[in-house]
C-alpha cells in the first residue's frame, strides 16, 4: 500500500534528461562567459547538487532497515528464508561471473589505455609512483576479502548506520526480521506495524526527494561541465566506449536472457521502471545515493514484469 502511494511520485525520466542537457549547456556557458557575471555561480550549483545527494544518502539507512525487516518478517518460516537466501546467493555468483567474463573479453579485444603497444598514461598526464601503486594493490589484496566478511557482522549497529556500512545494516535487518517473525503476539504485530509504518513514510520521502531530481541533476551536471569542460582525449573516449559496451552487453543481453529463461518474466518491461535509477546513477556518479530510488524502482519493475 505504501509503495503504491509513492509510485505516482517516481522520478520523472524526461525532466531528468532535459535537466542533464540544460545543465551541460549551462555549464559550458559558465565556463566560457562565467568571468563576466561578477559572481561565482558554480559554487551555487555545487551547493544545490551536494544538498541533493545528501538528501538521497539521508534516507538510505532507515529505508533499508524498514524494507528488509518487513520483507524478511513477512516470509514467516525458516525454509522460506533459506530458499530466498540460496537463490539470492546463486544469482549474485552467476551474474558476477558473467560480468567478469564480459569485462575480460572486451578489455582484451579493445585494449583501452594502450596505443601502438604503449600505455597512454603519459599523454593524459596520468602518472603515479610505482612503489605507491604496488603498495596500495598489496594492501587491498591482503585485506579486502577478509575485511569484507568481517564487516558483514557489525559490532555496533549504530556505528554501522552512521558510516553507511550497507552489508552490516542488511545483515542486522535480516536477523531482526527473522526473529521478529518468531516472537509472540501482540508484540509481533506491534513491532511489525511500527516498521511497516516506517517503510511507508520512507517510501513517501523517497518519492518527494526524487521529485527534486531534475533540479539536483541540473546543478551537478552544470558544475562538472563548468569546471572540466567537454575536452577529452581519444584514449579516454575509447575507455568510456569499452565501459559502455560492457554495460550494454550485460544489461541488454545477459540479464534479459537470465530473466527470460530463469525467472520467466518479460525483461523488456523492466527498463522503463529502471530508467529513473539509471539516469540518477549516471548523473550523480554515486551508487549509494541511488539506492533509495533503486528500491523504489524495484516495486515498479516487478509490477511491469508480471503484467
pLDDT of 280 strictly over 60: yes
Percent of the chain with pLDDT over 70: 64
Count of the separate structural domains present in the chain: 1
Query: Is position 138 within any domain?
Result: yes
Instruction: Pick the closest to residue 57 from 303, 280, 305 (CA basis).
Output: 280
- Looking at the whole model, is its pTM more than 0.85? no
What's the chain's average pLDDT?
Answer: 74
pLDDT of residue 292: 58
Query: Is position 247 within any domain?
Result: no
pLDDT of residue 191: 92
Query: Is position 98 within any domain?
Result: no
> Which grid cell sits at 215?
533540479
1-5, 77-81, 124-128, 250-254: range with highest mean pLDDT: 250-254
Peptide bond into 186 cis (omega under 30): yes
pLDDT of residue 1: 39
Query: Is position 91 within any domain?
Result: no
pLDDT of residue 19: 86
H-assigned helices in 76-212: 78-110, 130-152, 157-162, 166-180, 187-211
CB neighbours of 294 closer than 8 A, spacing ≥ 6? 277
Q: What is the pLDDT of residues 36-45, one digit of tens each?
A: 665 678 888 8
pLDDT of 304 strictly over 90: no
Q: Which helix (H) or strand (E) holds 212?
A: none
pLDDT of 305 strictly over 50: no
The residue ranking higher by pLDDT, 59 or 274, is: 59
pLDDT band of residue 198 (cuts 50, 70, 90) is: very high
Query: Is position 122 within any domain?
Result: no
Q: Note down the domain range covering 159.
A: 2-76+128-231+265-305
Neighbour count for residue 12 (Cβ, 10 Å) = 17
pLDDT of residue 112: 75
d(C-alpha 190, C-alpha 187), whole Å: 5
80-94, 210-224, 272-286: range with highest mean pLDDT: 210-224
The enclosing domain of 61 has a CATH number of 1.10.3860.10
- SS3 state of residue 123: coil
Query: Is position 20 within any domain?
Result: yes
The residue ranking higher by pLDDT, 133 or 91, is: 91
> Which grid cell sits at 269?
518491461
Instruction: Pick the closest to residue 268 from 289, 288, 253 (CA basis).
Output: 253
Q: What is the pLDDT of residues 131-152, one digit of tens each?
A: 565 566 565 555 555 666 777 8
The residue ranking higher by pLDDT, 233 or 145, is: 145
Q: What average pLDDT does range 141-167 have in this prediction? A: 77
Contact 288, 166 (CB under 8 A): yes
pLDDT of residue 78: 58
Q: Which of 3-17, 146-160, 184-198 has the lowest mean pLDDT?
A: 3-17
Query: Is position 24 within any domain?
Result: yes
The residue ranking higher by pLDDT, 1 or 278, is: 278
DSSP β-bridge partners for residue 112: none
DSSP β-bridge partners for residue 119: 114
Rounded to 5 degrees, what are φ and ψ at 114? -130, 130
Contact 225, 24 (CB under 8 A): yes
DSSP β-bridge partners for residue 114: 119
pLDDT of residue 193: 93
Q: Which helix (H) or strand (E) holds 283?
A: helix 270-284
Query: Is position 28 within any domain?
Result: yes
Amino acid at each position: 500500500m505504501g509503495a503504491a502511494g509513492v509510485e505516482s511520485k517516481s522520478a520523472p525520466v524526461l525532466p531528468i534528461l532535459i535537466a542533464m542537457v540544460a545543465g551541460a549547456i549551462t555549464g559550458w556557458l559558465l565556463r566560457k562567459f562565467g568571468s563576466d557575471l561578477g559572481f561565482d555561480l558554480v559554487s551555487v550549483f555545487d551547493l544545490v547538487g551536494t544538498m541533493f545527494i545528501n538528501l538521497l544518502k539521508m534516507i538510505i539507512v532507515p529505508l533499508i532497515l524498514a524494507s528488509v525487516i518487513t520483507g524478511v518478517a513477512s516470509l514467516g518460516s525458516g525454509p522460506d528464508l533459506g530458499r530466498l537466501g540460496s537463490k539470492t546467493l546463486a544469482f549474485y555468483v552467476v551474474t558476477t561471473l558473467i560480468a567478469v567474463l564480459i569485462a575480460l573479453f572486451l578489455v582484451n579485444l579493445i585494449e583501452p589505455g594502450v596505443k601502438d603497444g604503449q600505455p597512454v598514461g603519459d599523454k593524459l598526464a596520468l602518472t603515479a609512483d610505482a612503489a605507491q601503486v604496488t603498495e596500495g594493490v598489496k594492501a587491498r589484496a591482503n585485506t579486502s576479502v577478509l575485511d569484507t566478511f568481517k564487516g558483514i557482522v557489525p559490532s555496533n549497529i549504530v556505528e554501522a548506520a552512521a558510516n553507511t556500512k550497507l552489508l552490516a545494516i542488511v545483515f542486522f535487518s535480516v536477523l531482526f526480521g527473522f526473529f521478529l517473525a518468531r516472537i509472540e503476539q501482540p508484540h509481533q504485530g506491534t513491532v511489525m506495524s511500527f516498521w511497516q509504518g516506517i517503510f511507508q513514510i520512507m517510501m513517501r520521502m523517497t518519492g518527494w526527494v526524487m521529485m527534486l531530481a531534475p533540479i539536483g541533476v541540473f546543478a551537478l551536471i552544470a558544475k562538472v561541465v563548468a569546471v572540466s569542460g567537454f575536452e577529452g582525449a581519444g584514449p579516454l573516449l575509447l575507455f568510456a566506449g569499452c565501459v559502455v559496451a560492457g554495460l550494454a552487453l550485460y544489461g541488454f543481453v545477459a540479464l534479459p536472457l537470465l530473466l527470460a529463461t530463469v525467472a520467466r518474466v518479460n525483461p523488456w518491461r523492466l527498463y522503463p521502471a529502471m530508467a529513473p535509477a539509471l539516469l540518477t546513477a549516471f548523473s550523480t556518479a554515486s551508487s549509494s545515493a541511488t539506492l533509495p530510488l533503486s528500491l523504489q524502482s524495484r516495486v515498479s519493475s516487478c509490477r511491469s514484469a508480471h503484467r
